[in-house]
Amino acid sequence: MNSDDMNRVAEIRRHFPNIDRDISGKERIFLDNGAGSLVLREAADAEYFARINASANVDGHYYESELNEKIIKEGREALATLFNSPSSDNIFQGESASILSFLLGIALRNYIGKDGNVVSTYNEHYSSVAPYMFLKKNGYIKDLRLAKIDSETSEIDLEHVKQLVDRNTKLIVATAESNLTGTKTPVNELKKLADENDALLIIDGVHYAPQDLINVEKPAVDAFIVSMYKLFGPRGSFAYVSDNLLRQADPYNIDPFTNRFKGSFMELGTRDQAIFNSSLEVVKFLSNLIENHGGISRSGIEQSLTWNKSYLAELSRLILEGDDETPGLKNIENVRILGITDIKELHKRGSTFSFNFKNIDDSKAERIYWEKFGITVVGGNHFNVAHDFLSRKSVLRVTFLMYNTKEEARKFLKATEYIASIERED
């Protein structure tokens, strides 16, 4: 890591108030980013501002109502820039990725139809496949088909995907990056398969978003979902939805005056202006991380996330291989990693690492990480279908993001080495 990277990470950390200690004052290293990142100071301030000063509802001819509308409009435009969406009218907000996935599934029930099927994989968060389990159970669609994954790397079996897709496949659903193992999905290949079979393509980008650049036009997906609380922001989620999908959609909504290509068509009830304002600040932060563009900038976002991807690849290499000071996860006895470990294949994974110890159970290891070393490592079920497919009911998981340092990575590895040396309890 060069000095420019170290200086940039130090500057990034100054934007996160609780970067090195929690509210109780306990010093800690935060690696539970896969469940939710730390919050950007500017995002928290913007959420507070909008909550207090724009609490009125929309459609009023007075200042607070008009401010509410302005905040929502500008937030939607900022998210369109983050997604590289052709229009802010294609950006829809929901309380969570689970809600957005469910609304999309319900909206597509008639398009898929009683003879149609949905193809997905065993690499998915349950929120991505649960809507189609529901539709199948209740007779709205014929089938949900899940493609196998590799038992070691968790890469999806593309040949099996191709076998599952047929002339009745109306939709392919996949994660851009596994929230369990960090393994990335070859979205370009799925897009090609979807086009060949005249099917829609929905991508869960929740785990991917804080690590890599979003571009919904390359390839041209039909929906892409992110959760802002995993991208330094508030407890809210957004989806890009293509015109192509919107033309097929028949969503549940309560607005008698709704426009097929406007917010209320896919959004239930009053929107939370504070989530839009907070999310705008996240996009602004990403726009100006490398150089000051003065506002929202797609080129600035591309600069920032290109650097971010490179930096996280360096951290991932350190975690897997170690260095002169510390052994990597691959070289620590009694550690079993789930996911890609070949350094030559780093481009196929993100900066999430899941593993078990052979000598100690996950719950005890989690307590030692926290109580002895002050590191947030969480074990258990991470709501991914792969837990069942791989017969791994529990794994420990860490995710490194742009504010995590090389020194924090070393401390994690040293703590891991210590735990791995504990005498096995029978």
Q: Are residues 7 and 122 in the same domain?
A: no
User: Is 198 domain-assigned?
Assistant: yes
Q: Catalogue the E-assigned strands of 373-414.
A: 375-376, 378-380, 395-399
Q: Are residues 110 and 180 in the same domain?
A: yes
Q: Sign (positive/negative) of CA torsion 206, 212, 215, 220?
A: negative
Average pLDDT over residues 212-231: 98
Q: Quick one: 335 exposed, middle or buried, by C-beta within 10 A (0-12, 13-18, 19+)?
A: buried
User: Is 425 domain-assigned?
Assistant: no
d(CA 200, CA 219): 12
How far from chain centre, in Å, is Cα 204? 7
Contact 206, 125 (CB under 8 A): yes
Q: Are residues 148 and 235 in the same domain?
A: yes
Residue 200, token pair as written in the block: 């829609």
Q: Are residues 380 and 323 in the same domain?
A: yes
User: Is 101 domain-assigned?
Assistant: yes
Statement: residue 227 has pLDDT above 80:
yes
User: Is 426 domain-assigned?
Assistant: no
Q: From the CA atom positions of the chain, what is the Rg in Å?
A: 22
User: Is 259 domain-assigned?
Assistant: yes
Q: Are residues 266 and 307 in the same domain?
A: no
User: Is 290 domain-assigned?
Assistant: no
Contact 37, 401 (CB under 8 A): yes
Contact residues for 61 (Cβ-Cβ < 8 A; gap 6+): none
Q: What is the mean pLDDT of the chain?
A: 96
User: Is 130 domain-assigned?
Assistant: yes
Q: Are residues 160 and 205 in the same domain?
A: yes
- With a pLDDT cut of 90, the percent of the chain lying above it is 92
Q: Sign (positive/negative) of CA torsion 216, 219, 220, 225?
A: negative
Picking from 99, 173, 91, the residue whose alpha carbon sits closest to that of residue 132 is 173
Q: How many CB atoms lie within 10 A of CB 296?
A: 20
d(CA 165, CA 237): 29
Query: Where is the domain boundary, 242, 259, 285?
Result: 285
Query: Where is the domain boundary, 285, 313, 328?
Result: 285
Please give the pLDDT value at position 42: 98
Per-residue pLDDT band at 294 (split at 50, 70, 90) = confident
- With a pLDDT cut of 70, the percent of the chain lying above it is 99
Q: Are residues 107 and 147 in the same domain?
A: yes
Q: How many CB atoms lie within 10 A of CB 325?
A: 10
pLDDT digits (tens, 9 = 90+) for 107-130: 999 999 999 999 999 999 999 999
Q: What is the CATH number of the domain that holds 64?
A: 3.40.640.10
Q: What is the CATH number of the domain that holds 395?
A: 3.90.1150.10
Contact 164, 119 (CB under 8 A): yes
Contact 300, 293 (CB under 8 A): yes
Q: How many domains does the chain have?
A: 2
Query: Where is the domain boundary, 285, 318, 350?
Result: 285
Give, as one character, the DSSP assignment of residue 341: -
Picking from 197, 127, 198, the residue whose alpha carbon sits closest to that of residue 163 is 197
Please give the pLDDT value at position 260: 74
Q: Are residues 367 and 306 in the same domain?
A: yes
pLDDT digits (tens, 9 = 90+) for 237-287: 999 999 999 999 999 877 777 777 776 788 988 999 999 999 999 999 999
Per-residue pLDDT band at 1 (split at 50, 70, 90) = low
Q: What is the largest CA-CA distance in the chain?
A: 71
Q: Are residues 190 and 86 in the same domain?
A: yes
User: Is 333 domain-assigned?
Assistant: yes
How far from chain centre, in Å, is Cα 244? 24
Q: Are residues 78 and 129 in the same domain?
A: yes
pLDDT digits (tens, 9 = 90+) for 360-405: 999 999 999 999 999 999 999 999 999 999 999 999 999 999 999 9
CA dihedral 404, 406, 409, 413 (to 10 degrees): -170
pLDDT digits (tens, 9 = 90+) for 5-36: 999 999 999 999 999 999 999 999 999 999 99
Please give the pLDDT value at position 426: 62
Q: Are residues 275 and 319 in the same domain?
A: no
d(CA 162, CA 64): 53
d(CA 6, CA 62): 48
Give the position of tokens 């994954």.
149
The backbone region for 81, taken as left when phi is positive above 0, alpha when psi lies in -120 to 50, beta otherwise, is alpha
Q: Which amino acid is at 380?
A: G
Under DSSP, is residue 97 helix (H, G, I), strand (E, B) or coil? helix
Number of alpha carbons in the 13 Å side-chain half-sphere of residue 127: 23
Task: Give helix then strand counts, H and E, for the chain.
Answer: 14, 13
pLDDT digits (tens, 9 = 90+) for 138-195: 999 999 999 999 999 999 999 999 999 999 999 999 999 999 999 999 999 999 999 9
Contact 381, 291 (CB under 8 A): no
Enclosing domain of residue 151: 46-285
Q: Are residues 275 and 185 in the same domain?
A: yes
